[in-house]
Amino acid sequence: MDDETLRRLSLSFSLIGILGLFLLSCFFKPLEVSPSEIDESLIGKTITTSGYVAKLRRHEDGHVFLKLENKSKIDVVIFANVARKNEAILKELKRGDAIKVTGKVVEYRDRLEIVASEIEVLVFKTSLKNLSHER
């Protein structure tokens, strides 16, 4: 096989591989579960869950620690690198806000928690107050 043929084959297979990975990423969605369904069987898996912020603590290093509640509670860790990407959301976040979190389930100090990779606010608590006052 000459060099030109080998180069074309390599390029073709590389492009096919990249296209395949792109298509897989479009169809892959994390498992959606409620906090009460999170157990040891989900350790290491990426999941999406939602609930209300029951507790919120910001660390001086930029990390954010939440307790998410929806029938039961689960701790959520948002490391500084993810917190910086979601700075606008996290700046406004307060107890009682409804959020959706995607992240990996891990065990830390004999407790399950979610290491967040994505955060989405579903409803700010202050928005609910404003709606109830408008009626």
pLDDT for 130 equals 46
Residue 132 has pLDDT above 50, yes or no: no
Residue with the bigger pLDDT between 128 and 22: it is: 22
- Give dist(CA 51, CA 38) in Å, integer: 13
* pLDDT tens for each residue of 39-49: 999 999 999 99
Specify the DSSP class assigned to residue 30.
P
Decide if pLDDT at 118 tops 80: yes
Which pLDDT band, with edges at 50, 70 and 90, does 115 fall under?
very high
CB 43 within 8 A of CB 106: yes
Number of C-beta neighbours around residue 115 at 10 A? 17
